[in-house]
Amino acid sequence: MRSVEALRYFKLLDGILTTRRDDLGQTIVDPPRVHGVFNRGAANYWTNTNKRESVTEGFSIDAERGLVTFNRYMFRLNPTANAILAELAGGLVSNGVAAEKIDAAELVLVCSCSVRDITTHQFDRVQRLRDIGPLGLTWERIIHREDIRLVKYAEFDPNTWQVTAREDNGGEVDTAANFYLDGAEKEYAMIGTATRKYPGILPVHPDGALQQFTFEVGGGGPPTTTISRNSEHANWMPSYKAQRGGQRLKIVVDMASQMSGWQALVQAAKNSGGSTSTLRRGPA
């Protein structure tokens, strides 16, 4: 494993993702924090903080530019306050602290971040692969789930920067991934699939398993009824899944038509829910 040091490989997040969940099942996000060696200004001008003390003044994180902005100028005394006091007593410094005695604060930001792959520069994502056996096809189905997020959490000793505790939600991620993979695999189950053609016009009651039926009349032959169970025989028509997708898209368009501007389109897209999937099937 290669270490990542350049800031361009990170995207800072305005918070600390934890492995804890609230009552609604949402990931608990703790506020970010900054600590280190700095001077509190008028509150305690002659003393620098120690590494464990936190910045209590407000600050904000610019995730896009990788910047942390504080509400006031952050600095530390250099050398130590005792050395500056000695110089004052000896008359070497007049009218307070000389400018060269002010140095940059030594601060540490504690927050979560997304990490890019060093080679591809793509954000690292959790991937799970399941082989569902030989079906005579050669493509894979790729399912994107933005609601599954691997969180790795670590605690450090501010004095040594050694890791004191480490945890992650890998088990929870595996459970969620298997849940969605199980559901997708069932869509390809071949149990109980059949297509039959019957003479005459028969009453058909679709029940979920009976997904498609057609009536044929004319052409010089007797009328017939074709019924498919857990399959579809009319390949010239949109599949059941495609028809359902069209119905959901119509709902989104209708919602957007009731609003105005680009914001309406964005809101409608959010309300449609889910993420797109690319279908391919690989060799067994």
The pLDDT tens digits for 103-142 are 888 888 888 888 888 888 888 788 888 887 765 456 788 8
Contacts (Cβ under 8 Å, ≥6 apart) of 69 = 59, 60, 62
- Number of domains making up the chain: 3
Tokens in use for 147?
A: 């609601």
Same domain, 143 and 259: no
Same domain, 104 and 204: no
Same domain, 134 and 38: yes
pLDDT value at residue 59:
92
- Highest mean pLDDT pick, 15-29, 31-45, 68-82, 167-181: 167-181
Q: What's the half-sphere exposure (Cβ side, CA atoms, 13 Å) at 75?
A: 17
Same domain, 179 and 198: no
User: Is there a domain that residue 156 lies in?
Assistant: yes
Q: What is the pTM of this model?
A: 0.53
> Phi first, then psi: what are they for 241, rounded to 5°?
-65, -40
Same domain, 60 and 122: yes
Same domain, 91 and 223: no
Nearest CA among 59, 31, 33 for reference residue 156 = 33
User: Is there a domain that residue 282 lies in?
Assistant: no
Contacts (Cβ under 8 Å, ≥6 apart) of 94 = none
Q: Domain range spanning residue 256?
A: 240-271
